Amino acid sequence: MEKTLICIRCPIGCTLTYKDGIITGNKCKRGIEYGLEEVTNPKRIITSTVKTTNKEMPRLSVKTNISIPKGLMFKIMKEINKVIVSSSKEIGDVIISNILNTGANLIATQNLSY
Amino acid sequence: MYDFVVIGSGIVGSFAAWELSKYQLKVALLEKESDLANGQTIANSGIIHSGHDPKEDTLKARLCVRGNELYRKYQEELSIPLRKTGAFVVAHDEDDLETLNSLKKRAHYNGVKEAFILSKEEALQEEPNLRDDLVGVLSLPTTMVTFPWEVCFNLLENASANGLEVFLNNEVINIKKVDNYYLIKTNETEFKTKGIINAAGVFSDEVAKMIETDLPFHIIPKRGEYFVLDHSVDGYLKRVLYPLPSKKSKGVLLTPQTHGNILVGPNAEVISDKTDVSTTQEGLNFVKNEAMKQAKNIPFDANIRTFAGVRASSNYEDFYLKESLSNPKVYHLGGVDSPGLTAAPAIAEYLIKMIAGKYPLIKKTNYQKFIKKSKPFKELTTKEKSELINRKPLHGNIICKCEMVTEQEIIASINSPVGSDTIKGIKKRTRAGAGVCQGGYCESLVLKIIAREKHKKMTEINYYEKGTPILKKETKE
Amino acid sequence: MKKDLVVIGGGAAGMMAAISASNVDVLLVERDNKLGGILNICVHNGFGLQYFKEELTGPEFASRLESELKETNVEVMLETSVIEIKKNGERFLVVITSKEGLKEVDAKAVILTSGSYERTAGGIALVGKRLNGIHTAGSAQRYLNSDGYLVGKDVFILGSGDIGLIMARRMTLEGAKVHGVAEIMPAPNGLTRNIVQCLDDFNIPLYLSHTVTNVVGDKNVEKVVISEVDINFNPIKGTEKEFNVDTLLLSVGLIPEINLLDDFKMALNKTKSASVNQNYQTSIEGLFVAGNALHIHDLVDYVVLEAKKASQCALAFLREADKKEREERKIISGTNIGYTVPNLVDYNNLEDSFEVYFRTAKKAERAKIVIKQDDKVIKEVKKRYVQPAEMNKVILKAEELIKNREITILMEVL
């Protein structure tokens, strides 16, 4: 399999080529790391909001604390959409633990006080 | 059974309904759109002309000059915003100086009190942003600028307090003569009335066709496009600048507005679809290029909006203001394009004269004067603002930062008898969202206030017409 | 009420300006019911890498500054608007309003950190009817992230700046379909990371060298038409592409929000904000501007550093000790330079060195930034990978400069 992609680790944005498990086109080591992962097991941090019962703040911003497999994005959004927060939260509080068994927690990135 | 039904809530219909509300008559006003004053009245330059332009001995000339007088007369009584700008008609060619002179003569003939020629130097002293290649100007100090739909709101608020019934979302689809009255069918309901005032603007010929076999005029819709420059450019021009149509160009106007903005435009394009208020690349480019022939350093980078309006020009060439020949008590106010805004109070006066000439009109004894509007919060002194906030704390909550509109003002315009529950309706009434950020900051705040005041869901608040919700869907349902 | 310093706007710049000046009597005024400004609605990552050495979301970044602010004696007024700044002899009267009433705050110095607003449909003279369904990307962002509503279900986006790209992802994740993004320039405007993670990840097509040439519908947006443009950005006939959408989002740039300066009738800089010297001071003594209200930044980290510097300059102004009458000269944007901030240098109140932020007018892999005075080359700085979308800076030392002469900054492509 051959694939072309742009490295996003620094502003240069090297055009990388992945072929038979090897990355070429990189100007530094980080390009190889990025390229390999992005082709074989792309991951993303999900940032979103969850619903709350708070009239002043009907949404609370959240993120996954580590990146999760890109292919699970929409499934994870489904889980996120099921949440209804009804108590005070601080930045870092776990909203969903080990979401879809990825090992990632969904944590609050905003403070909410009732 | 109504005595009169007025069709159209533009400036002509509003003045007509207002005049009628002074008499012992049962009057209804039908407006096909979801808000008042939505046709030509919302899309023009706002100029109260002096009367230099209409041909001698026409109704346009006579009623323009009379209208100019009446706006001054009613200014205080109806809280009419008037900016007494004056105007220059600018000549760029030596050949045009003669035209300028004939316009001056015409102005005097039509009854314009002040009209005089100024030299290039004098003109540039007064208006330094004029182009240096001008040769002379005709100065028309009696020219003014108003804020047309605000005038309509005040007129209809006063008329409503005196019994006028206003029906929005009622488009007239059929008019039938039945014995000694008329049956008007709209998309919503029916109205029985003894008399009809057709003030339907671009649709006045279509309304006339519903009841006349011989149509005395037909509308030639002309679209005009504009740029709106933010009020931070206030001071760039003192006066309205009229072009002098010459061999070189038709020309466009530059018009300082009552709120400090400057309008640049319009062009004039005959179109087939009367409702097509789109702006076009060609139209806007034309306006820009023509404007640059009039003035220099036009601050186009302060442009905050473009819009277009469709004028009710007609083949009749003058205002068509007549009682129907075959249908008594049906009055057509047709072909009212420029100077329609200026002439509107005089058209209403003329209408009353027409009616009173044949039918008895008895003044109301318990007529209620208009409850004068206080100045907008923005225009008060610091002391007045402070006192007002102490009396009504929600004036301390500034919702629209660009135009300094308070929460109290927005609440008042939602709940007023000629109020609105739409984003654009509130913008028309309070200026919230009319500034440089065009509602980028305040729209969500206005939406929440409307939802709260009207006990509606956020997804039920419309941008303007029925069926234009701003918010399509709540997430995570 | 009397204060040494009033800071107008409690976003990133305002909070840092207040924190940095907290040893004098400071009032921070914010119109919203919380501090943070637009950071509060930027739920995505990418903030703080430079300043906190950590990748944070917008709200987290705001919260860090808020915690720092809480430790100081700065007086904070929320849900309070500034409606006017009046000059009062050598001081200012800052007129503020809230439900509690109107106050005129007597201040010696003012820092304006009021942020920016988005360029609108009118600002780009978008043609067509003014239908329901045309929004700026930021206002759609607020409805979505703060209130929890989608402004549309089928979306087209004009502008490949970061806000537009971020919204492409957000709307998609929350259930809308984004049909495409059009960008009038031949290259995308936003970070490559966002092209990958906001467009490529969701197969959203990017149409470069395209712009919206018509918006069609009865009362609501029903169709958006885009066309390819030539090198003069004029639409090419016959290249029209149509998209059946109910929403057009505009991500066509930010403009400094400086309407409080209107009454001072200042000449504006190329950044559409007030001209300032290296002390972030405007032509009005004691009136400073920083953050997006001065020029639009790419990274909030630099906003914070700039606000810190401006605040220190305000403190120096308040100290008055060594204040000398100004001797200002222009800093001119020469060839290939879009703008510089500052665009004036005050030689009489000059520290050892100062930073000049700039944006180049075009892209270059290898470039030389040349600083000239009186046609003499004062300094050259080599830079790699410069582009208009990325703010840059040079440091000028007082000892290198010819006193009281204009400075020109230009870029040569190597």
Q: Render pLDDT for C198-222 as a digit per residue (tens, 0 to 9).
A: 999 999 999 999 999 999 999 999 9
In this structure, what token pair is assigned to residue B342? 């200026």
Range from B209-218, B230-239, B345-354 carrying the lowest mean pLDDT:
B209-218
CA distance C385 to chain A (A): 7
CB contacts of B470 in chain C (<8 Å) are 132, 143, 151
Residue A99 has pLDDT above 60, yes or no: yes
CB contacts of C196 in chain A (<8 Å) are 5-6, 8
ipTM: 0.95
Distance CA C127, CA B302 (A): 17
Q: Choose from A61, A77, A111 for mutation: most chain C CBs within 10 A.
A: A61
Q: How far is CA B13 from CA B6, B7, B38, B329, C264, in A?
A: 6, 7, 12, 16, 43
Q: In the prediction, which pLDDT does B94 show?
A: 87
| Bridge pairing between strands C75-77 and C26-29 | parallel
Yes or no: say if C32 and C142 are a contact pair by the CB < 8 Å rule: no
| Partners of chain A (3+ Cβ pairs below 8 A) | B, C
Q: Is the backbone peptide bond immediately before B266 cis, with ω within 30 degrees of 0?
A: yes
Q: How far is CA A97 from CA A52, A61, B87, B217, C355, in A?
A: 18, 16, 71, 75, 46
CB contacts of B476 in chain A (<8 Å) are 50-51, 80-81
| Bridge pairing between strands C364-373 and A59-64 | unpaired
In this structure, what token pair is assigned to residue A105? 């927690």
CB pair distance less than 8 Å for C128 and B232: no
CA distance A71 to chain B (A): 20
Helix/strand/coil percentages in chain C, nearest 5: 25, 40, 40
| A66 phi/psi in degrees, rounded to 5 | -135, 170
Yes or no: say if C328 and C38 are a contact pair by the CB < 8 Å rule: no
- Closest residue on chain A to C172 (Cα): A74
Q: Count how many pairs of residues, chain B against chain C, have C-beta atoms within 8 Å.
A: 146
Q: What is the DSSP letter of C402?
A: P
Q: Does the active-site annotation cover B49?
A: yes
CB contacts of C148 in chain A (<8 Å) are 49, 51, 58-59
Contacts of B143 (CB under 8 A, 6+ apart): B47, B48, B49, B50, B85, B86, B87, B239, B240
Q: Does B352 touch chain C (CB under 8 A)?
A: no
Residue with tokens 């966002």: C194
Q: In the prediction, which pLDDT does B173 show?
A: 97
Distance CA C406, CA C412 (A): 19
- Closest residue on chain B to C81 (Cα): B398
In this structure, what token pair is assigned to residue C224? 């958006």
Distance CA C206, CA C179 (A): 9
CB contacts of B395 in chain C (<8 Å) are 97
CB pair distance less than 8 Å for A73 and C43: no
Q: Does A61 touch chain B (CB under 8 A)?
A: no
Q: In the prediction, which pLDDT does C315 show?
A: 96
Q: How far is CA C309 from CA C112, C216, C268, C276, C285, in A?
A: 13, 48, 21, 13, 17
Residue B247: pLDDT band (50, 70, 90) is low
**pLDDT tens figures, A61-87:** 999 999 999 999 999 999 999 999 999
Distance CA C329, CA C344 (A): 6
Q: Does A81 touch chain B (CB under 8 A)?
A: yes
In this structure, what token pair is assigned to residue B118? 């100024």
Residue with tokens 């009732």: A114
**pLDDT tens figures, B10-57:** 999 999 999 999 999 999 999 999 999 999 999 999 999 999 999 999
CA distance A9 to chain B (A): 33
- Closest residue on chain B to C260 (Cα): B402
Interface of A with C in 17-36 (CB under 8 A): none
Q: In the prediction, which pLDDT does C270 show?
A: 87
The average pLDDT across C242-270 equals: 94
| B66 phi/psi in degrees, rounded to 5 | -65, -40
Residue B248 has pLDDT above 60, yes or no: no
Q: Count how many pairs of residues, chain A against chain C, have C-beta atoms within 8 Å.
A: 67
Q: Does C120 touch chain A (CB under 8 A)?
A: no
In this structure, what token pair is assigned to residue A27? 């100007």
**pLDDT tens figures, C265-292:** 888 888 899 999 999 999 999 999 999 9
Contacts of C286 (CB under 8 A, 6+ apart): C90, C91, C92, C108, C109, C110, C314, C317
First to last CA, chain C: 57
CB pair distance less than 8 Å for C146 and A111: no
Q: What angle do CA B106, B107, B109 make, to 5 degrees?
A: 60
Contacts of B10 (CB under 8 A, 6+ apart): B37, B38, B39, B40, B41, B152, B199, B201
| Partners of chain B (3+ Cβ pairs below 8 A) | A, C
Contacts of B444 (CB under 8 A, 6+ apart): C139, C142, C143, C146, C147
Please give the torsion angle defined by the CA atoms of residues C44, C37, B231 and B236, in that order, rounded to the nearest 10 degrees: -90
- Maximum CA extent, chain C: 67
| Partners of chain C (3+ Cβ pairs below 8 A) | A, B
Q: In the prediction, which pLDDT does C320 show?
A: 80
Yes or no: say if C295 and C388 are a contact pair by the CB < 8 Å rule: no
The enclosing H or E element of C67 equals: helix C58-70
Q: Does C143 touch chain A (CB under 8 A)?
A: no
By CB atoms closer than 10 A (0-12, 13-18, 19+), residue B353 is exposed
Q: What is the DSSP letter of C26?
A: E
CB pair distance less than 8 Å for B475 and C213: no
Query: Which DSSP string corresponds to B73-102?
Result: HHTTTTT--EE---EEEEE-STTHHHHHHH
The average pLDDT across B97-116 equals: 94
CB pair distance less than 8 Å for C147 and A58: yes
Instruction: Kindly list the structural domains of chain B, giving each domain's residue range(s) and its CATH number in brackets, ordered by start.
Output: 377-460 (1.10.10)
Cα-only R_g, chain C: 22
- Closest residue on chain B to C234 (Cα): B281
CB pair distance less than 8 Å for C102 and B385: yes
Of B304, B393, B473, the CB nearest to C123: B304
**pLDDT tens figures, B267-306:** 999 999 999 999 999 999 999 999 999 999 999 989 999 9
- Closest residue on chain C to B226 (Cα): C125
- Closest residue on chain B to A80 (Cα): B476
CA distance C51 to chain A (A): 17
**pLDDT tens figures, C287-314:** 999 999 999 999 999 999 999 999 999 9
CA distance C18 to chain B (A): 22
Q: In the prediction, which pLDDT does B249 show?
A: 55
Distance CA B271, CA B277 (A): 10
Q: Is the backbone peptide bond immediately before B345 cis, with ω within 30 degrees of 0?
A: no
CA distance B449 to chain A (A): 14
Distance CA B177, CA B172 (A): 14
- Maximum CA extent, chain A: 55
By CB atoms closer than 10 A (0-12, 13-18, 19+), residue B168 is middle
Yes or no: say if C132 and C220 are a contact pair by the CB < 8 Å rule: yes
In this structure, what token pair is assigned to residue C214? 């018509």
Distance CA B22, CA B3 (A): 13
| Bridge pairing between strands C2-8 and C101-112 | parallel
CB contacts of C104 in chain B (<8 Å) are 382
H-helix segments, C206-324: 300-319
Q: In the prediction, which pLDDT does C389 show?
A: 85
Identify the contact set of chain B against chain A, taking CB-CB distances under 8 A.
Answer: 475-476
**pLDDT tens figures, B76-87:** 999 999 999 999
Range from B232-246, B383-397, C343-357 carrying the lowest mean pLDDT:
B232-246
